[in-house]
Structure 1
Amino acid sequence: MTGTPISSIRNLGPAIESACHRAGIPDAETLRALGADTAYARMLATGTRPHFVGYFVLHMALQGRPWNDCVGMEKQKLRQRFDALKARPVRVADGDIPLGIETILDRIGVRARS
């Protein structure tokens, strides 16, 4: 039995739904249980490019609010949280292993093996 589609949440469309699926978030129920910060961190770890608007839209959507309802101090605080999330080391979802540039280059076969 599958859950409710992520795109059924107001303001979340196919692009966010696809990014969530890549991050192992199959449905709206799982997304709500994880919350915006954890879900977005998983999305970043699985290749989603960081974008502040996408981050705050996700927050607003999970609160049932219009995406453009985020203003003033609330938006500033979300920006700080977004910047902190971006600054964390990228981690592999299946092993929670930090990925440095050397690891990434090794995985794609760019560096010579020693």
Structure 2
Amino acid sequence: MSAISSLRNLGPATEAAFRRAGIESAEELCALGADAAYARLLATGERPHFIGYYVLHMALQDRPWTDCQGDEKAALRARFDALKAARAGDERIEAELDALGVGRRR
């Protein structure tokens, strides 16, 4: 198994964040794909950051992060915004369930 930080653009801090999300290797990250892996990061409380999201996409394609431009970047922005919105919806539902006293136990 290869270290996540062995992938282009990804360093030790990103590797640590993915480990907190239960993703232990570069192979596992590649198998999940960028969207599913990023959603897992968000689920662990990681703050959404568009640059980190598109850097991850570029890393999984073994491309420099600066390659992301124009239409490709705009399309990734739309996907990022959808992931963020889905996570925000999950948080609102949890807050409402907690207010009712039926939220999931932590």
More helix by share: 2
What's the CA shift string for 1:71-104, capped at 9, x where partnerless?
000000000000000000369xxxxxx4422456
Corresponding position of 1:56: 54
Structure 1's unaligned 5+ residue stretches are: 92-97, 108-114
Contact 1:22 / 1:46 at 8 angstroms: preserved in 2?
yes
Contact 2:10 / 2:59 at 8 angstroms: preserved in 1?
yes
What is the root-mean-square deviation of aligned Cα atoms in Å? Answer: 2.0
Map 1:15-54 to 2 at 5 A.
15-54=13-52
TM-score, normalised to structure 2, is 0.85
- Greater relative contact order: 1 or 2 (C-alpha under 8 angstroms, separation 6 or more)? 2
Contact 1:45 / 1:90 at 8 angstroms: preserved in 2?
no
Tell me which stretches of 4 or more aligned residues in structure 1 moved more than 3 Å: 102-107
**Percent of residue pairs identical:** 63
Contact 1:44 / 1:90 at 8 angstroms: preserved in 2?
no
Structure 2's unaligned 5+ residue stretches are: none
Corresponding position of 2:95: 101
Corresponding position of 2:5: 7
Name the SS of the counterpart of 1:89 in structure 2: helix
Corresponding position of 1:68: 66
Q: Could you say if the C-alpha distance between residues 18 and 90 of structure 1 is closer, same or farther in structure 2, counting changes exceeding 3 Å?
A: farther
TM-score, normalised to structure 1, is 0.79
